[in-house]
A and B are shown apart, each in its own frame.
Chain A
Amino acid sequence: MSELTVVDILRVLLFGYPLSAEFIDRSYPVFLQASGGLVLTLIISVLSFSCGMILATLFASLLELERKPIKRFSWIGTLVSVLQIGIRGILYVCQSLPILILVLLFYYLPYPLFGLRVPAVLLGIGAFSLYAAVYLTQIFRSGFRSVPQGLTESSRILGLNHFQIFTTIKLPCALRVMIPAIVGVAITVFKDTSVLMAAGVAELTFTSRQLSAASPGHYSVVLFLVIALYWAIASLFSWWARSIEKKVTIYGWGGSV
Chain B
Amino acid sequence: MNFSEYVFSAPYLHWLISGAQYTIIIAGLTSIVSLIIGCLVCFLHISKQKLYHVCALIYINIFRNIPPLPFLLFLVFGLPGIYTLLTGNIFPRNTVFMLLILGISLNTAAYLAEIFRSGLKGVPKSTIDSARVLGLKPSDIRLHILLPQALRISFPALGTRLIHNMKNASIALVLPLDVNHMEVMGQAGRIAGQTFTWAEPLIFAASVYLVLTMMLQGVITFFSQGMQKKIVCQN
Interface residues of A (CB under 8 A from B): 93, 96-101, 104-105, 108-109, 112-113, 187, 191-192, 194-195, 197-198, 204-205, 208-209, 212, 219-220, 222-224, 226-227, 230-231, 234-235, 238
Contacts and interface: CB of A to CB of B under 8 A. Distances in A.
Contacts of B194: none
Interface residues of B, number: 37
A100 B70 contact: no
A234 B67 CA distance: 9
B71 to A, nearest CB: 6
Given A194-B67, A197-B174, A112 B199 contact: yes
Interface class of chain A by DSSP: helix
Which 3 interchain pairs have the tightest Cβ spacing? A98-B167, A191-B67, A108-B198
Interface of B: 1, 61-62, 65-67, 69-71, 73-74, 77-79, 81-82, 85, 167-171, 173-174, 185, 197-199, 202-203, 205-206, 209-210, 213-214, 217
Contacts of A104: 198, 202
A227 B74 contact: yes
A212 B199 contact: no
B66 A97 contact: no
B202 A101 contact: yes
Given A112-B199, A209-B73, A231-B62, 7 more contacts: A97-B209, A98-B171, A100-B185, A109-B202, A195-B171, A220-B81, A223-B78
Contacts of B85: 220
A226 B170 contact: no
B193 to A, nearest CB: 13
